Amino acid sequence: MSRRSGTCLRCCLVVFAVVSALCVSGPALYWKFKKGLRLRATSLSCSPCICDCPPPLSLLKIAPDCGKDDPDLKKEMEKQFVDLLSEELKLQEMVSEEHVHHMNITFGEARRLASQYQREAEKCNTATETCEAARERAEALLLRERKITSSWEQRARKLGWEGE
């Protein structure tokens, strides 16, 4: 049974490999085959093109004096590749330093605001605790007053008071 299942597994893997290869390379082969048919069909119906176009003009032929009198442009064009790369690195370093500076300022501001919010929260907690303690004291006083009132009411009833 295991030998048969191993053979079946190998067959399945081979089929899977063939299907995968066809899925990957199939579209490319299809378009290449279709393009080849199209080229043969068009080559039979069209004559070859004859073109007497002039070659494209270069920038030096169009504007030969462009920038010759500009000293900044001359200086820039004379720089070596290494100089240009080092200048680019310096510019990137400056940008990154500005970014770090901005992030440090933002971080400091965030820390300051967090500290301020923490202080406000502590004030709120203290005020809540104070109010809670005052409420508890008032509740205890009210309970004590009720007891005193009840005892006075009992004394008054013993002495003949009938109430309202």
Tokens (6 digits) for 86? 């080092």
- Residue 115 domain flag: yes
- Residue 9 domain flag: no
For the chain, the distance separating the N- and C-terminal CA atoms, rounded to the nearest angstrom, is: 103
Distance from C-alpha of 158 to C-alpha of 72, rounded to nearest angstrom: 115
Domain range for 116: 82-159
Residues 57-82: tens digit of each pLDDT: 665 566 656 656 777 777 766 767 77
Residues 119-144: tens digit of each pLDDT: 999 999 999 999 999 999 999 999 99
Total number of domains in the chain: 1
- Residue 4 domain flag: no
6 CB contacts (<8 Å, ≥6 apart)?
Answer: none
Question: Do the Cβ atoms of 73 and 67 come closer than 8 Å?
Answer: yes
- Residue 58 domain flag: no
Greater confidence (40 vs 147) lies with 147
- Residue 96 domain flag: yes
- Residue 20 domain flag: no
Q: Residue 158 pLDDT more than 80?
A: yes
- Residue 151 domain flag: yes
Buried b (16+ CB within 10 A) or exposed e, 109-136: eeeeeeeeeeeeeeeeeeeeeeeeeeee
pLDDT band, residue 92 (cuts 50/70/90): very high
- Residue 30 domain flag: no
Q: Residue 42 pLDDT more than 60?
A: no
The least confident of 2-16, 31-45, 109-123 is: 31-45
